[in-house]
Amino acid sequence: MTNPNTRTVQEYIDETPNWSDGTVVAATPMTVIQWRIWMLATAGKFFEGWVIFMTGVALPLIVLEFGLSAAEKGAVGAAPLLGILVGATALGSLADRFGRKAMFIIEMVIFTVFLVLVASSASFVWLVIFLFGLGLALGCDYPTAHMVISESIPSNYRGRLVLGAFAFQAVGALVGTMIGFFILKTVPDITDWRWMYASAVVPAFLVVIGRFFIPQSGHWLVSQGRLPEAEHAVGTLLHRVPKYPKQIHLRDPHVGADGKHTHKPHSYADLFVKKKNRRATILASVPWFLQDLGTYGIGIFTPTILAATIGMSSGGHARNLSEVIHDGMLAAKGAAMIDVLLIVGIIAAIFLADRVGRIRLQVFGFIGCALGLLIAALSVHFTGTLQIVFIFAGFMLFNFMTNLGPNAMTYLLAGEVFPTHSRGMGSGFAASFAKIGAVLTAFLFPILLNDIGVSMLLYLLVIACLLGAWVTWQFRIETTGVNLEKIGMD
């Protein structure tokens, strides 16, 4: 029989104070530790945007230094995304076994080590291997950072704060592009790409240190039957001055009246066997895969597309170092202007996710992305100023709509539609499946740009976006405002 004096982890986190006349305060105050967790969790998305999107600026110099073919150029762009694909499942799912905090630290250690190795790569082969290792860490961060945030904060803040952390991917993309530009401008050299990657080493090391000073997830500890440790962790998480709550007495929401745990041992097969789990898996995975086709393709190769469409040195084919750096600076400035819309889009998503709902924003965003790509595709039919207007308008609309909708909502939904005991496994699988699309795009983009041209490539992405809208609506599960402990109960 349930002890009436006990509460669940989320009930403690969601508790709101009362005024003396019994009026409940509308919002739950966040503690210093909760804000610290959120800030440290933003780092993974920030570094992903920094490193992945900066590759678009670094790539021409890498091609020149190692003399890469189109396929090898694609391999460089695809390597970190392939690492994310593997890391999200292989490492991210370990958070269900070893705990959120352990993997939260380990992923950033791996990231820092491989940053140093990438910056010192001696050959094309080693560069690809080290970029893959970099991606492993970023892949682990997809489910882990989401869980660290969502399992530590009040339910009514979850959408805003998870998306707030995700917004730092766009900030990182802009910062990475700007750093690439300033390095090219300050010390024009063929090795500039090494300094671009090395610029993230010190910030990453500081994040490693910070992640040691947060508590373990109380939700995860309860799911492991470790109630005393969970009570201590929740007490640390909710530390206030003056102290409240003075004592923590937890109960496991997944223990039935007979005292037995309602969750059975789980495996990846469980994501597909039951109809409810299968629906959640499809919703979390397929639209994310379809949006990654466009988001990473456009994100990484915006400088390349600008050069191919607008035309730069030697018709878009720079022949020497000075031309590569000149074109790189021009493309970086254009890409930075376009990337600003990623930030504007995610800010809009933060304000609207808990009001409009995840599903509606994702569908609307997919349709908007399709429209933006269609406008960009039409740019090839014009010349001069009109061509530039079309491609910039199309890409800016795409970046705004993808972060308002699918790029933000797929990440948010994947960490919400699965129950606690399999959240790392489910969201990790979704992230891995999505990155198949990112890897395919990153590898094939340079080849397809040569073979079928910019216009046809963008038309194919339009179709992918419209398909993403359809799948989202067909398999919709709205999680706005839902208590995480209630998911998977029925």
- Residue 354: count other Cβ atoms within 10 Å of its Cβ: 17
Token reading at 386: 């009109």
What is the model's pLDDT at position 314? 43
What is the model's pLDDT at position 313? 45
By the 10 Å C-beta count (0-12 exposed, 13-18 middle, 19+ buried), 334 is classed as buried
How long, in residues, is the chain? Answer: 490
Residues 211, 108 contacting (CB under 8 angstroms): yes
Residues 102, 91 contacting (CB under 8 angstroms): no
What is the model's pLDDT at position 236? 94
Phi, psi dihedrals of residue 419, rounded to the nearest 5°: -70, 165
Phi, psi dihedrals of residue 294, rounded to the nearest 5°: -85, -45
Residues 408, 292 contacting (CB under 8 angstroms): no
In tens digits, what is the pLDDT along the chain, a chain of 490 residues? 455 578 888 889 888 888 878 787 777 788 999 999 999 999 988 998 888 777 777 888 888 889 888 788 878 878 888 888 888 888 877 888 889 999 999 999 999 999 999 999 999 999 999 999 999 999 899 889 988 998 999 888 888 898 888 888 878 887 887 888 788 777 778 888 899 899 999 999 999 999 999 999 998 898 888 899 999 999 999 998 888 888 898 887 766 555 555 555 466 677 777 777 888 899 999 999 999 887 766 655 555 555 555 554 444 444 555 555 555 555 555 566 666 777 888 889 988 988 888 999 999 999 999 999 899 888 878 777 787 788 778 888 988 999 899 988 998 898 888 877 777 788 888 888 888 887 787 777 767 766 777 778 888 889 999 999 999 999 998 887 777 766 655 4
Task: Give the SS3 label for residue 7.
Answer: strand
Residues 170, 346 contacting (CB under 8 angstroms): yes
Give one word for 111, left, alpha or beta, with left for phi > 0 and alpha for psi -120 to 50: alpha
Please confirm whether the linkage preceding 242 is cis (ω < 30° from 0): yes
What is the model's pLDDT at position 325? 53
Beta bridge partners of 360: none
Beta bridge partners of 18: 24
What are the C-alpha distances in Å from 370 to residues 38, 265, 346, 358?
Answer: 32, 42, 18, 19
CA angle 41, 45, 391 (to 5 degrees): 155
The domains located in the chain, with CATH, are 30-247+270-485 (1.20.1250.20)
Query: Would you give the end-to-end CA distance of the chain in angstroms?
Result: 19
Express each pLDDT in 88-134 by its tens digit.
Answer: 888 877 888 889 999 999 999 999 999 999 999 999 999 999 999 99
CA distance 328 to 331: 5
Please confirm whether the linkage preceding 245 is cis (ω < 30° from 0): yes
What is the model's pLDDT at position 327? 56
CA distance 485 to 163: 20
What is the model's pLDDT at position 312? 47
* Helix H or strand E segment including 329: helix 321-356
By the 10 Å C-beta count (0-12 exposed, 13-18 middle, 19+ buried), 169 is classed as buried
What is the model's pLDDT at position 255? 62
Q: Would you report the helix, strand and coil content of the chain in percent, each value rounded to 5?
A: 75, 0, 20
- Residue 57: count other Cβ atoms within 10 Å of its Cβ: 28
Render the burial of 28-41: b for 16+ CB within 10 Å, e for the rest. Answer: bebbebbebbbebb
CA distance 40 to 202: 15
